[in-house]
A and B are shown apart, each in its own frame.
Chain A
Amino acid sequence: MDNLALLLQAPPLALQLVIDGVLIGSVFALAAYGMALVWGVMNIINVCQGEFVMLGGYVALYLARAGLQPLLGVPVAAAALFPVGWLCYRLVIFRIVEQDLFVSLLATFGLGILLSQVMNQVFGANVQSLDPGLGSWFLFQGLVSVSIMIWTVQPFGGLIFTVRSFMIVILAGLGNLPGVILAALGLGVAEQFVGFILGAQLQIAFVFLALVAILVLRSRWLHRQRRYLA
């Protein structure tokens, strides 16, 4: 709550949070598009979407450390993850496409656990981050900074990404592409504000609780209440 007072005292901090939120929200939008694509085409909720994001992050991170120009790391990571996705499909997904949604949920969850544990073994459990040095801009006498692409990855950061993508897709609705961007940016900004005011743990709790709240509200809005003739 002290941070809330700080926010009210220094409005440019709010601008900082909005900018951070928009930047991270655009990453959420990318992840959400992937989930929306798989969901719409195959009716599979890909719970290991977040793990793919983390894997891409690790690939780009190690390439940047090895000396590759950081911006080039992005398409290379995309190309590297393509065969990973193909392998997942060939081994697991194509067997569960026909079955009901819960099977695919549990199977992709298992796949997600598998991937995150492999990343844990191979890369270590620490949070790794890299500043690619692409430059930052400082506004309002240093209160606001805009930096492009600072990577932080950790092996178990996948699940929260999956939940964010799922929330964005539900909010926007399958097939609503501009909606995905708006929902993603909104979520990013909301998350930054909650994280600043209430702290990091409650930021994570906020993401998951927002998911529950959205699902419950959505189900009420769609009038799925059970009413009985008394």
Chain B
Amino acid sequence: MTRRTLAKALPPALVALAVLAPFLLPAYKAQLTFLWIMIVFALSWDILGGETGYNSFGNIVFFGVGVYAAVVVQIGLFHDVAAYTAAAGTETLRFTPQQYFIGLAAGLIAAPLLAVLTALLLGWALLGLRGHYFAIATLGLGIAAGELAAAWPYLGGSSGVQVPVYPGSLESGRLLFYFLAAGLGLATLFALGGLYRTRLGLALNAIRDDEDKAEALGLHTPRYKIIAWCIAAATLGVAGGLVAHIIGFVDPREVAFAGASYGVWMVLMAILGGKGSLWGPVIGAALFHAMRELFWTYLFGWQNVAMGVLIVVVVVFFPTGILGWLRQRKPHWFARALPRATSPGESAP
């Protein structure tokens, strides 16, 4: 099978697998849903991190903004948000199924819009920073966002917000959110695959390779960096809206702005698989998710220690990730065949 036919067959095969998975493995629906969310995390981090070279520890801010935006819009369309959050869980809201789904749709549209707005503001302020200063500044933002949300009574403060309950059977709800998450994951994968082949992809890589030279060549680097961050923010915003409904409860520091956990893990997933490529983050996300489930099952209390060990091991021994390691060992897997020269004097086109 040539590389060409593989590339052509892969997308439909992937879509088919995504559609069939919850029926083939019905007991693992929740894990599969989160697997797609992890893939979205890793892919969205990689846009700015691997492709543009701006390692951000704070992308979780957009996820959290999406979480709160989706929930507040959904509740706010039909009830009073401030009164609900002030009641801190003692009040249960009644939604008709129609209200729930309209709210859900509105929330999933508002979430990426608000996240992109945040990205525009933050990008304008922060994308002038370079290298490790950008990384630490975004780390600070990620944690600060969690504390600010915890201090804002409208969003429920430290008690968080109880998300409206799905009006239907548990199974149908799980199935719905699986397909929404899989849809998001596939859309992100295909969109980025197409994007990286355009001039935008080349521009981002140029910024990663040498930003000063790129500017000297006339590339408007701030615009491209902000575009990249906005794309990441949009996907993370939708992911946030979905996760809010899957988990059912929004805690500002553990669910929405989980900076020290998911915020760091999205970096790790992309690096584990191989940052700077399209499939690297996907592989990294899948492997990471599997390992995390294994750790949780077998190590319970010490799973987070194992996570720390994993981060150190990956960063120190596999900085280029699995794809990078494979590229070294089996370069012919990544080779592209050049067309033959037509005569001895001509070079290949």
- Residues 222-281 (chain B) with a chain A CB within 8 angstroms: 222, 260, 264, 267-268, 271
Q: How many residues of A contact B (CB 8 A)?
A: 44
Residues of A within 8 A of B128 (CB): 216, 219-220, 224-226
B176 at the interface (CB under 8 A from A): no
> Could you tell me the dominant secondary structure of chain A's interface residues?
helix
- Residues 108-146 (chain A) with a chain B CB within 8 angstroms: 109-115, 117-118, 120-121
Contact present for B304 and A211 (CB under 8 Å): no
Contact present for B132 and A215 (CB under 8 Å): no
Smallest Cβ distance from A72 to chain B, in angstroms?
31
- Residues 83-127 (chain A) with a chain B CB within 8 angstroms: 92, 95-96, 99, 101-103, 105-107, 109-115, 117-118, 120-121
Interface string of B197-209 (1 = CB under 8 A from A): 0000000000000
Whether A113 contacts B264 in the complex (CB less than 8 A), given A92-B316, A96-B316, A106-B271, comes out as yes
Q: Which of B132, B147, B302, B304 contacts A113 (CB 8 A)?
A: B304
Tally inter-chain residue pairs, CB-CB below 8 A: 130
Contact present for A114 and B131 (CB under 8 Å): no
Contact present for A114 and B135 (CB under 8 Å): no
A224 to B182, CA, bound (A): 42
Contact present for B316 and A117 (CB under 8 Å): no
Q: How many residues of B contact A (CB 8 A)?
A: 45
Smallest Cβ distance from A86 to chain B, in angstroms?
16
Contact present for B131 and A45 (CB under 8 Å): no
Contact present for A208 and B143 (CB under 8 Å): yes
Whether A107 contacts B147 in the complex (CB less than 8 A), given A101-B131, A102-B55, A208-B141, comes out as no
Q: Which of A9-17, A19-27, A198-206 contacts B (4 or more CB under 8 A)?
A: A198-206
Q: Which of B85-93, B188-196, B307-315, B329-337 contacts A (4 or more CB under 8 A)?
A: B307-315
Contact present for A121 and B316 (CB under 8 Å): no
> Could you tell me the dominant secondary structure of chain B's interface residues?
helix
Interface string of B133-170 (1 = CB under 8 A from A): 10111011101100110110000001000000000000
Whether A106 contacts B311 in the complex (CB less than 8 A), given A113-B304, A215-B133, A219-B129, comes out as yes
Smallest Cβ distance from B146 to chain A, in angstroms?
8
Residues of B within 8 A of A159 (CB): 143, 260
Residues of A within 8 A of B310 (CB): 110
Q: Which of A99, A109, A201 contacts B311 (CB 8 A)?
A: A109
Residues of A within 8 A of B315 (CB): 96, 103, 106-107, 110
Residues of A within 8 A of B57 (CB): 109
Contact present for A121 and B135 (CB under 8 Å): no
Whether A205 contacts B151 in the complex (CB less than 8 A), given A105-B132, A159-B260, comes out as yes
16 further contact pairs, Cβ within 8 A, besides A92-B312, A107-B315, A163-B139: A92-B316, A105-B132, A106-B268, A106-B271, A107-B311, A109-B57, A110-B268, A114-B305, A114-B308, A117-B302, A121-B305, A199-B151, A201-B148, A208-B141, A209-B140, A224-B128
A sample of 26 inter-chain contacts (CB < 8 A) reads: A92-B312, A95-B316, A105-B132, A105-B135, A105-B136, A109-B57, A109-B311, A111-B312, A113-B304, A113-B307, A114-B309, A114-B311, A115-B308, A117-B304, A121-B305, A159-B143, A160-B143, A163-B136, A205-B151, A208-B141, A208-B143, A209-B140, A209-B141, A212-B141, A215-B137, A226-B221
